[in-house]
Amino acid sequence: MHNTTNPLKNKDENKPGGMGQFGTDLKNKAQDTGTAVMDKTKDLATSFGDKAKDAASSIGDKAKDAASTMTQKAEDIACNVGQKAEDATTAVGDSMKNLAGTIRENAPLGGFVGSASSTVADTLESGGRYLQEEGLKGIGEDLTNLIKRNPIPALLVGIGLGYMIARATRS
C-alpha cells in the first residue's frame, strides 16, 4: 500500500498552486535574483550611458581642436600669402625704378625721343616709388576713394570690362 503521510510534505502543498516551504524559498530566491539582475542591468545601462557621453564629449572636443587648428593654419597661410604679395609689389616697384634708371642712361638727351623717354622714365620712377611706399593696401584704398568720388564712371568702366572679358572668354 501507498503511504500518504510524507514528512517532507507541508500543509501548503495541499492548497491549490502551493509548493510548500521549498516553493516559497525558491520563489524568494528567484525574486532576489531577478532584482539583482535588474539592478545590474540598470548599473550597466548607466555606465554605458556615461561612457557614451564621455566619448561624445571627447569627440566634440577633438573636433573643436581640429577646427581651431585648421582655422589658425588658414590664417597663417593667408597672412603669408598677403606678405608675399606685398613683397612682390615692392619688388615690382623696385624693378620699375631700375627700368626708369636704365631708360635715362640709354635714351638720347634732347629731341622728341629724349623728351618722350624722359617722361616715360619719370612715370616709371614715380609708379615704382608709389608701389614701394603704398603697397597693395594703399592701392586698394586709393581705388576705393576713386570709386567713391566717381561712382558713375566706375560703374561704366566695370560694365565695359565685364563685356570685354565675356567676349574674350566666349571665343
Q: Give percent of the chain with pLDDT exceeding 90.
A: 20
Q: Is 26 within a domain? A: no
Please state, rounded to an integer, the average pLDDT across all residues of the chain: 82
Model pTM?
0.47
**Cβ atoms of residues 117 and 107 within 8 Å:** yes
Cell numbers for 22, please give them: 521549498
- Number of domains, the chain: 1
Q: Is 45 within a domain? A: yes
At residue 10 the predicted structure's pLDDT band, cuts being 50, 70 and 90, is: very low
- First and final C-alpha spacing in the chain: 120
Cα distance between residue 74 and residue 23, in whole Å: 75
Q: Is 52 within a domain? A: yes
Q: Is 68 within a domain? A: yes
Read off the pLDDT of each residue in 22-32 and give the average, rounded to a whole number. 75
Q: Is 5 within a domain? A: no
Q: Is 134 within a domain? A: yes
pLDDT tens, 103-158?
888 888 878 888 888 889 899 899 889 888 888 888 889 999 999 999 999 999 99
Q: Which residue has the higher pLDDT, 5 or 66?
A: 66
Which residue segment(s) compose the domain that 89 sits in?
A: 32-170
Q: Is 111 within a domain? A: yes
Q: Is 96 within a domain? A: yes
* Secondary structure string (H, E, C) spanning 66-128: HHHHHHHHHHHHHHHHHHHHHHHHHHHHHHHHHHHHHHHHHCCCCHHHHHHHHHHHHHHHHHH
